[in-house]
Structure 1
Amino acid sequence: MADTSPLALAKELLAILDRDEGRLKRIDRFIQGRHDDPYMPPQADDEYKLLAKRAVSNWMPLLIGTPAQALYVDGFRPGATDTSGLPQDSSSKSPAWSHWRRSRMNARQAAIYRGALGFGHSFVLTEKTKKGVISKGLSAMKTAALYEDPANDDDPYAALTITAKPKGDARGKARLFDARHEYAVTFKSASDLDSVRVVGKKLHGSAECPVTRFAAQVDLEGRTLGVVEPMIPLQNRINQTIFDLLVAQTYTSHEVRYATGMAPPLQVEYLDEDGNITSDPALAVDARPKLGPDGNPLPAKINHNARRFLFAEDPDVRFGSLPAGPITPLIESVDMSIRHWAAISQTPPHHMLGQIANLSAEALDAAEISLSRKIAEFRSLFGESWERVFRIAAEMEGDTTAQDDYSGEVQWRDMESRSLAQSADALGKLAEQLGIPKRGLWKRVPGITQSEYEDWEELAEDEDSVAQLANALKRATPPTSSAPASADREAVAA
C-alpha cells in the first residue's frame, strides 16, 4: 500500500516539481520572448549574432492573450434551493459572489487563465483568512497536485505549493494540503528529498483538498497541455526564416560594385632619420609599406560612396557590379509560416497578418468560428473548476446548502463585437416572437455587469410594487354615483 503520510506526500510532490521544472521553464522562456537561437555558421561574427537577436518575433503572447481576453466570469447562478424550496439569491449580495468580490477575482481571474493556457494548468487555493474566505491563483511552476485518477478527478487528495525557494543557507518553504489538514514543509532543494521536513499542522476547514486545478486540456493519461508548447517548433521556424531574411537583406539585397586588374593602395608608415617609425610626415625622411602580422603589406581603406567616382590609369582595369539577390521568396515563406501558425493554433489569420480590408461580416464570422469553438471549450473546462471553488468556499463559510450545489454555473461575459442596436433588435424579437420573458434576456445585453443587472431588478421590483399599490387603491375606491347630478340638471330644466 502506498505511503500517504504528509512527509511522503511532500517528497512526491516536490519530486514532480523538480521533474517538470525544465519543461515549464522552457515554456516560460518562450512566453517571455527568450527563444532558441536560429542556426548560424560556427564562425559567425557579432553582426550575425545581432541579427539573430533581432530575428525573434514573439507570437506566444498573442497565442495566449487572444482566447484569454474572451474569458471573463461575470456572475454565478446557484442551482440549489434553500429550506423553503426557493432558489438561492444569485446577486452580488449572495455568499458566493461576496466571496468572489472579496477575493478581487474580477481583476485576478485573467492571470489564472493565462497561466493555464501557457503551461497547461494553473491552480486556485481557497482558504480562511482574517478578512473571510478568499481564493487566489497559484503558478504551475510552484504548485503540484496528486489525483487518484488525474484524467477524471476534480478533487486532488494532496497538493503542495512553494512559498519561498531555498537561498543560501535558508531552507525553502512550502504549504502542503490534504483532505483535512494543512502542513508546513521545509526543504533544502527540490531534488534533495532527504532534506524535506514537515514542521506544522492545522485544519484548513474543508472536507476536500482546497486546491483546484484549472486545466486548458487534459488527456485520458492525465497529462495537461497548453497552447504554447505545441507551437514552439513553428515559432522556431518563423524565427529562422526571419533571420535568413535579415541576413539576405543585409548582405545580398544591395548591388555590389567591383574592380578587376587594379591593385589596391597600401598603408604606409614613415621613418625618421634614425630609422624609427614616426606619426609626423614632416619629420619623415623615408617611407615603406606597412606590414601585417603575416608579413604581407596591408591595403589601405578606400573611402567610396555614391558621390565619388572610381577611375584607374591602367587601361586593363575593369569596373562592374553584381546584382542584388531577391528577398521576395523569403517574405513569402514568412507569410506561409504565419498562415500555418494560424491554422494549427485556431487563431484567425487577420489577427496575425492584419489583413482585414474588404472582408464582409460573414467572412469575418467564418474566420473566427474556429477561435470561438476553442474559447467555448475553455469556458466549459474552467467553468467546472470555478464551480468547485464556489463549493469549497461555501463549505468553509458554513453554507451547507451551497457546498453540495453541483448544478450551479458561472456566467461568462459575452465578448463578441456587436452593436447595441443589433443586440436590442435581436433580444426584442426573441421576446415578442418566441415569448421568452423579458427579464430572462437582461443578462444577454452586451456589456452589462452583475451590479447593473441587480440595479435593474431592484428598479423593476419597485415599479411592480408601485403598480400593484395603484391597482389596489383603484380597486378599494368606490366609483362616484352620477344619479344626483342628473336629477339636479332635470330640476333646473323644469
Structure 2
Amino acid sequence: MVFAASPLALAQELLAILHRDGDRLRRIDDYLHGRHSDPYMPPQADDEYRLLARRAVSNWMPLLVSTPAQALYVDGYRPGSGTSATSEPDSETPEWEHWQRSRLDGRQAAVYRGALTYGHAFTMTERGRSGDVITRGLSALKTSALYEDPANDHTPHAALTVTTWPQGDQPGTARLWDAKREYVVTFRSLSDEKSVRLQGGTLHGSSECPVTRFAAWVDLEGRTLGVIEPMICVQDRINQTVFDLLLAQSYGSTKVRTVTGMAPPVQRDPETGEPVLDAQGNPIPVRINHNSRRFLFAEDPDVKFGSLDETPLGGFIDSIEMSIRHLSALAQVPPQTILGQIANLSAEALQAAEVSLSRMISEVRTGFGESWERVFRLAGELAGNASSAEDFRGEVVWRDMESRSLAQSADALGKLRTQLGIPERGLWRRVPGVTQTELEDWEQMREDDDSVGQLAGALNRATPEDAAPIEKAAA
C-alpha cells in the first residue's frame, strides 16, 4: 500500500479507520461488559417480559478473555548476541530496567486483555518529561495504525491515538506519529475530514514509528481477530435459552388448580343483598383465600376439580449446558473452567482437557513476544543504547503458569538431574512460581557458598591437623 506523504492526509486516513471500525469494536466492548442484544420476545411484550430479558443475560465473555490472559506474564528478558548479552535473563539489563520503570509488571495484563478482546492493542514508547524512556498501553478503541503490508509488517508507517473526544463546541485531540515526527491533531468528528487540523511536528527521537501493535491473531489479509467476536452468536443463543427458561419458570413451573361447573361468589351489598358491580357493570368476585392448608368442596355434583401440569424445565437446562459446551470447544477453554464441574478426574485427564488452551496460549505468546522485543529495541534506541537497539536475537521469558504441585515439579526436576545429567542450575527456572529476582538471589547464595567452601579447603590444605575445627568454623 502506498501512502500519501502529507501528515494531514495520514491523520485523515487514520481517523477514518477509527470511524469505520468503531461500530464493530463498540459492539465487542458492549458484549464484554454485559450489554448484549435482547433475546427475541413478542412485539407487545410488557414490562415483566422485559425485566426477565434483562435478567437472562449470562455474560461469559469476560471468562473467555481472562482464561488465556491470566496465563500470560512476562517474567524476564534474555538479550541476544552482543557485548551485553548473557545466557540467562538478568534484572540489571537496560531492557529490564526499562520494563520496571514503565511499571509493566502490572500494566502488561491490560495490553493482553485488550488484544484478546478486540483482536489488537497497542503500546507507545517515548521519552517522558523526566527524561526516562517509558512504554504505555493504548486502547484499540482510540488507536489506529497504517502498515504497508498489514499481514507481515511489524513496524507501522504511521499511528494515531485519540486523547480527547469532541464535546459540544470543543474539538477532539489526537497524537499522530510517523517515522520521524509527532503531531498534535484536532478534529470535529471522525467522519469530518475537512475539520482535521495539524499542529507541531517535533522529532520523537526514533528512526521508526514508536507505536507497536499487539495482535492476538492476524490473517494474510491483515485482519485481526479476538476471542469475543466469533462467540457473540453463541452468547446470544445462551441468553435466548436462559430467557425461555425464566419464562417457563415464572409462568408455568407450578401446577394450576382448576374448577368447572361452579361460579365464584360475588360481593353483595350488606343492606340490599344485591351484587356489587365494577365500573364495567360486572359483579365483583370475592377473593378466595386458598392455600395448601385448605380444602375445596362443592355441593353440586356436576362441579369438577382438576389441575394443569407444570412445564418441565429439564430440557431448557440441558440446552443451556449444550450451548456452554459448544462455547467451550469453540473458544478452546477447558469445560471444567466454564461449567465448574470436576468429578473423579485424574491429573492426566485434567491436563488432557487443557491441551487445547495450552496450544492457544503458546500461539499468542509467540506473537506478543515479538511485539515486546520491538518495544525493547525502541527503548534502547531512545536511551542511546546501540546494542539494545540492534538486538534482534533477544527474547522475553514467559512465566510458567501451568498448575503443578511443588512435589510433582521437584520429583520431575530430580529425575532430569540424575537420569539425564542436566546441570541443576539449568533447572532452577523450571521451579513453579520462581521469579527473576529469586533466581539471582539463588545465584548469589551459590557463589557465597562456593567462596566459603574454597576458603575452608585452602585452610584445610594449609593446616591439615586442624581441618575439622576450621571446617566447623567456616560452616
TM-score (norm 1): 0.89
**Aligned equivalent of 1:325:** 311
Q: Is the 8 A contact 2:78 2:86 kept in 1?
A: no
Cα displacement string for residues 239-284 of structure 1 (whole angstroms, at most 9, x for unaligned residues) = 111111111112222111111122234456x6xxxxxxxxxx7xx7
The aligned residue for residue 254 of structure 1 is 254
Aligned with 1:358: secondary structure? coil
Extract unaligned runs of 5+ from structure 1: 271-280, 481-494
Instruction: Tell me which of 433, 451, 462 is aligned to 2:437.
Output: 451
**Structure 2: stretches of 5+ with no match in the other structure:** 466-475
Deviation at 1:297, TM superposition (A): 4.4
1:82–1:88 CA contact under 8 A, matched in 2: no
Whether contact under 8 Å (2:266, 2:275) holds in the other structure is no
**What residue in structure 1 maps to residue 381 of structure 2?**
395
Aligned to 1:187: 187
CA RMSD of aligned residues (A): 2.1
Any residues of structure 2 matched to 1:60-459 within 5 Å, and which?
60-82=61-83, 87=86, 90-131=89-130, 132-266=132-266, 288-293=275-280, 296-459=282-445
Q: Within 2, Cα distance between the matches of 1:479 and 1:291?
A: 118
Is the 8 Å Cα contact of residues 377 and 388 (structure 2) preserved in structure 1? yes
Partner of 2:471: none
SS at match of 1:355: coil
Find the counterpart in structure 2 of residue 486 from structure 1: none
425-434 vs 254-263, which deviates more?
A: 425-434
Q: How many pairs were matched up?
A: 463
| 1:20 counterpart letter in structure 2 | D
Q: For residues 200 and 311 of structure 1, what CA distance do their matches in structure 2 show?
A: 91
Per-residue CA distance 1:205-236 (angstroms, 9 max, x = gap): 11111111111110000000000000000011
Equivalence for 2:470: none
Are the equivalent residues in 2 in contact too, given 1:63–1:345 (CA < 8 A)? Answer: yes
Deviating more after overlay: 466-475 vs 435-444: 466-475
Q: Say which SS state the counterpart of residue 396 (structure 2) adopts.
A: strand
Once residues 151 and 219 of structure 1 are traced to their aligned partners in structure 2, the CA distance between those partners, rounded to angstroms, is 6
Residue 87 of structure 1, CA deviation: 3.4
- The alignment's TM-score, normalised by the length of structure 2, stands at 0.92
Distance, in Å, in 1 between the alignment partners of 2:414 and 2:120 is 41
Cα–Cα, structure 1 residues 70 and 89, in superposed 2: closer, same or farther, change >3 Å?
Answer: closer
CA contact (8 A) 1:81 1:88 kept: no
Q: Secondary structure at the match of 2:175?
A: strand
Deviations 1:349-369 (A, max 9, x none): 111112211001111111111
Contact 1:164 / 1:173 at 8 angstroms: preserved in 2? Answer: yes
Asked if the contact 1:156–1:209 (Cα under 8 Å) also holds between the matched residues in 2, the reply is: yes
- Which structure: larger Rg? 1
In 1: Cα distance, 2:228 partner to 2:319 partner: 22
Distance (Å, rounded) in 1 between the aligned partners of 2:275 and 2:424:
100
* TM-aligned CA distance change 1:472 to 1:364, over 3 Å: same
Q: CA deviation at 1:3?
A: 1.6
2: CA distance between counterparts of 1:361 and 1:89? 32
